[in-house]
Amino acid sequence: MGEKIKITFLGTSGAIPSIERNHTAVLLSYKSENILVDCGEGTQRQFKYAKLSPNKVTKLLITHWHGDHVLGIPGFLQTLAFSDYKKTLEVYGPVGTKKFMECMLKTFAFSGEVKMKIIELSKEGKFFDSGDFYLEAKKLTHGVSCFAYNFVEKGKLKIDKDKLKKSGLPGGPLMKKLKEGKDVSWKGKKFKFKDLTYGDVEKKVSIILDTAYDKKIAKFVDGADLLISEASFDSSFKTKAKEYN
């Protein structure tokens, strides 16, 4: 059984907010990671409503640079600066993200400092990998450079006690190597990790926000345990959907 993955919808509105719904922002929490996907206007206030701390955010994933998905960034960063944020905020987004971030922060007298590491994504695929999970991106069709994101918790290897007992292999340090997916040797004999272990299945969360219909997206989100997909227009608004891409 894997670790708990928690999703908090801080905003689910479209280009214009409503009384009930704020601009787009989704928070994915996993262990010590808190990954914010987009930061629409008013997101920092939504953290208050949700009784969550912005200071715990570790990564910001930007799907694209339309205002309704990013206009909350300056206020969010200002709050972090005032809150003695100690981490280095990792910011991922399409090519141009560095320029947009710089321009955004130059439009007003920003007080304090927030350490940031900005990574521009120029291609699809895996862009972050840790021992527990990885992140990957998929290009979408939206008029401007835009990405969908996958969060995937890796399946963990566990020792099959019955097979271990039959193998005659002793416990101890060798078990750690087997759990890391490494073959081991003992008394001149080689033991393959796949013969003595079994694995939990991966857990996958897919997030697709603004995009035109594209069959290729299906492969990217295939097998997702949770699919978060924005849907602004039904078939009766087909013309409007094409207009806004």
Structure tokens at 137: 């991106």
Q: Which of 229, 47, 5, 10 is nearest to 135 (CA)?
A: 5
Catalytic residue among 68, 162, 200, 210: 68
**CA–CA gap between residue 157 and residue 72 (Å, rounded):** 40
The reply to whether 68 belongs to the active site is yes
CA 195/CA 167 separation, integer angstroms: 10
> Quick check: helix, strand or coil at residue 181?
coil
According to DSSP H, which parts of the chain are helical?
43-49, 67-70, 73-82, 97-106, 161-167, 173-179, 193-196, 216-221, 238-244
Candidates 23, 31, 22, 26; CA nearest to 7 is 26
Residue 50 tokens read as: 């949700």
Residues marked as catalytic = 68
